[in-house]
């Protein structure tokens, strides 16, 4: 099916259905328990204990590095970033991130007594990690080379900003240093939308970067783009999606704009009246989904698409797709070490988050301490609910039999209340129960409400949803003049 042809499709819910489900603010379940339920901590003892347990159990984690600077503010952004064009700022924070990394690696070596550390994949995110000065970036890659077990390390990825002097030479340098996957922030190609969100990157700019040599140098190329942006229309997003398909990335991440000007003050820079109306926005997502599927991409899960040849598609078919704090991952684990200000990881039974404020982060790292500020220990019940929620996000299914076997529970009794609540979704045609195989499957109509179905299994749902930037440290980090003065 192509653009514009789905409107009579019964698969697409009516406006009143979206109004019913999208009226309440509920968390997005890339983490469970969600951050509203995490507690501030003053020490790193639980972090160290969990790290010991993880490496003793021989589970191999992923690693995420968060670089917190960007040269310019995109108005839609909800990442943790500080705006600065000064290379000195980039150098100072990269130095602290490198120190944190070395401290962490030394700790792991002490635990295992081995010279080489097992990590299965690494992701540089931000912020804009591609503004890290190349000499410092090379140093980090050298630290990986000397400390990591090359047998287990399968992927090193970086988020690429196509602006700020990015060119073929720089991309090939990343490849030479060991990066084998890139993710490019496209967001939207329409001139009016780009002006409204303060981010100009043209089709020609990105086409010019993706030369034959560049394409051959990386095993996978991802594009991020956003629906629901100011000035976006069904026609403009259609043109953007067509250009994206023409550029032929392996993966596409089609994100929903999180409009929270109460938290992200820079979102006040565009007019609310320029935002597409809610139903219009959902139609944009539906039409984009149909277009990408008709163009050879498979839907991996909520907002994610990949070619059948990409690892994500292959691992989904093998039932080995995980969703860690950083998104979908092919065959890695849920466990993720995280370094850099504000980064979020999962180790064993805990989620951990690093300090946001750059000065506090730097001084904690300089004392050779883990800069953790917030944590959440999973109870056994949290683990069971996490499994159900992540199966919904990765496979759009609930597997009562498998969950019952894995956790030794009677699924029907354990989730008696939740199963009653699911009836509403079954009656509305969003979910089907197949008795013969004892599985619940989300229907095409229901795919727009997966997050609401996940919400049924959230035992903390009575607590009000809060953005992690509403925590004391997160709010403090919004004071950018202070942040820049103190660094
Ligand atoms: S969208 Fe990316 S480049 Fe833009 S401000 Fe956010 S982190 Fe920086």
Q: What is the pLDDT of residues 443-466, one digit of tens each?
A: 999 999 999 999 999 998 766 656
Q: How far is the centre of ligand 1, averaged over its atoms, from the C-alpha of 77 (Å)?
A: 6
Q: Are 176 and 142 in contact (CB under 8 A)?
A: no
Averaged pLDDT for residues 221-245: 97
Does position 11 have pLDDT exceeding 90, yes or no?
A: no
Convert the pLDDT of each residue in 94-111 to its tens digit: 999 999 999 999 999 999
As a whole-number percent, the residues of the chain with pLDDT over 70 amount to 93
Report which DSSP code applies to 180: -
As for ligand 1, residues whose beta carbon falls within 6 Å of it are: 70, 73-74, 77, 79, 81, 126-128, 161, 185
Averaged pLDDT for residues 350-357: 94
User: Which has the closest alpha carbon to 117: 168, 213, 165, 51?
Assistant: 51
pLDDT at 2: 32
User: What ligand 1 atom has the least distance to the C-alpha of 187?
Assistant: 1
Residue 65 DSSP SS3:
strand
Convert the pLDDT of each residue in 125-173 to its tens digit: 999 999 999 999 999 999 999 999 999 999 999 999 999 999 999 999 9
Residue 377 DSSP SS3:
strand
Convert the pLDDT of each residue in 58-99 to its tens digit: 899 999 999 999 999 999 998 999 999 999 999 999 999 999
Task: Please give the helix or strand (H or E) that residue 321 lies within, else none.
Answer: strand 321-324
Give the least confident one: 33-47, 274-288, 364-378, 398-412: 33-47
Q: How far is the centre of ligand 1, averaged over its atoms, from the C-alpha of 440 (Å)?
A: 38
Q: Are 159 and 125 in contact (CB under 8 A)?
A: yes
Cβ-count burial of 417 within 10 angstroms (0-12 exposed, 13-18 middle, 19+ buried)? exposed
Q: How far is the centre of ligand 1, averaged over its atoms, from the C-alpha of 389 (Å)?
A: 28
pLDDT at 35: 85
Q: Which one of 79, 89, 164 would you pick to mutate in the ligand 1 pocket, going by the greatest count of ligand atoms within 8 A of its CB?
A: 79
User: What ligand 1 atom has the least distance to the C-alpha of 126?
Assistant: 7
Q: What is the CA angle 65-75-476, rounded to 5?
A: 60
Averaged pLDDT for residues 365-383: 95
Instruction: Name all domains of the chain by residue range, CATH numbers in brackets.
Output: 29-377 (3.80.30.20), 380-456 (1.10.10.920)
Averaged pLDDT for residues 343-356: 95
Average pLDDT over the chain reads 92
Q: Which one of 127, 129, 223 would you pick to mutate in the ligand 1 pocket, going by the greatest count of ligand atoms within 8 A of its CB?
A: 127
Instruction: Tell how many helices (H) and how many strands (E) occur in the chain.
Output: 19, 20
pLDDT at 454: 96
Give the least confident one: 200-204, 262-266, 352-356: 262-266
Atom 4, ligand 1: residue with shortest CA distance:
74
């Amino acid at each position: 099916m192509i653009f514009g042809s789905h409107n009579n499709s019964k698969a697409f819910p009516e406006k009143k259905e979206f109004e019913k489900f999208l009226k309440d603010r509920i968390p997005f379940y890339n983490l469970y328990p969600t951050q509203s339920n995490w507690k501030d901590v003053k020490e790193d003892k639980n972090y160290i204990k969990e790290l010991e347990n993880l490496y003793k159990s021989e589970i191999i984690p992923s690693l995420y590095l968060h670089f917190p600077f960007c040269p310019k503010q995109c108005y839609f952004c909800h990442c943790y970033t500080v705006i600065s064009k000064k290379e000195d700022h980039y150098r100072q924070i990269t130095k602290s991130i490198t120190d944190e990394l070395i401290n962490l690696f030394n700790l792991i070596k002490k635990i295992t007594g081995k010279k080489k550390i097992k990590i299965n994949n690494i992701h540089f995110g931000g912020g804009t990690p591609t503004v890290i000065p190349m000499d410092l970036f090379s140093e980090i890659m050298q630290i990986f080379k000397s400390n990591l077990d090359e047998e287990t390390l399968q992927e090193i990825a970086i988020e690429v900003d196509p602006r700020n002097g990015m060119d073929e030479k720089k991309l090939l340098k990343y490849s030479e240093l060991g990066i084998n996957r890139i993710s490019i922030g496209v967001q939207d190609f329409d001139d009016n939308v780009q002006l409204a969100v303060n981010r100009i990157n043209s089709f020609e700019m990105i086409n010019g970067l993706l030369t034959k040599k560049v394409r051959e140098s990386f095993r996978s190329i991802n594009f991020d783009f956003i629906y629901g942006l100011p000035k976006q229309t069904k026609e403009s997003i259609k043109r953007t999606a067509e250009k994206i398909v023409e550029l032929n990335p392996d993966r596409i991440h089609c994100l929903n704009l999180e409009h929270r000007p109460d938290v992200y003050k820079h979102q006040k820079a565009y007019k609310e009246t320029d935002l597409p109306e809610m139903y219009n926005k959902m139609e944009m997502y539906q039409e984009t989904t149909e277009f990408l599927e008709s163009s050879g991409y498979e839907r991996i899960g909520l907002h994610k698409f990949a070619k059948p040849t990409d690892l994500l598609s292959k691992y989904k078919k093998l039932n080995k797709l995980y969703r860690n704090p950083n998104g979908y991952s092919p065959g890695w684990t849920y466990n993720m070490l995280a370094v850099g200000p504000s980064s979020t990881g999962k180790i064993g039974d805990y989620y951990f988050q690093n300090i946001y404020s750059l000065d506090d982060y730097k001084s904690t790292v300089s004392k050779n301490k883990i800069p953790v500020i917030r944590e959440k220990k999973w109870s056994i019940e949290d683990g069971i609910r996490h499994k159900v929620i992540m199966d919904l996000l990765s496979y759009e299914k609930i597997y009562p039999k498998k969950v019952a076997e894995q956790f030794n529970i009677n699924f029907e009794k354990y989730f008696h209340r939740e199963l009653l609540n699911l009836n509403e979704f079954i009656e509305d045609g969003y979910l089907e129960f197949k008795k013969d195989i004892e599985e619940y499957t989300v229907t095409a109509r229901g795919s727009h409400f997966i997050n609401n179905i996940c919400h049924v299994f959230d035992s903390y749902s009575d607590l009000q949803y809060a953005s992690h930037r509403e925590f004391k440290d997160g709010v403090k980090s919004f004071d950018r003049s202070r942040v820049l003065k103190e660094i």
